Amino acid sequence: MTTAQTSKSWVICPQPNAQAKLRLFCFHYAGGGAWSFRTWSDNLPSSVEVCSVELPGRGFRLTEAAFTNLDPLVQAIADALLPRLDKPFAFFGHSMGGLVSFELTRLLRRNYNLNPVQLYVSGHRAPQLPDPDPPIHNLPEPEFLEELRDLEGTPQAVLENAELMQLLLPTLRADFTVVETYAYTAEPPLDCPITAFGGLQDREVSYDELKAWQEQTNIAFSLHMLPGNHFFLHSAQSLLLKLLSQDLHQLICEVDPLR
Burial call 133-144: b when 16+ CB within 10 Å, e when fewer: eeebbeeeeeeb
Edge-to-edge order in the sheet of strand 89-94: 11-12, 48-53, 22-27, 89-94, 118-122, 194-199, 221-226
95 is catalytic: yes
> What span, in angstroms and rounded, lies between the C-alpha atoms of 76 and 70?
10
Among 3, 58, 42, 49, CA closest to 26: 49
Rounded distance, CA 172 to CA 152, Å?
Answer: 14
Catalytic residue among 52, 95, 101, 122: 95
Phi/psi at 125 (5° precision)? -65, 160
Distance of CA 240 to the CA centre of its chain: 14
Interstrand relation of 221-226 and 11-12 (parallel, antiparallel or unpaired): unpaired
Alpha-carbon span 192 to 92, nearest angstrom: 13
Active site residues: 95
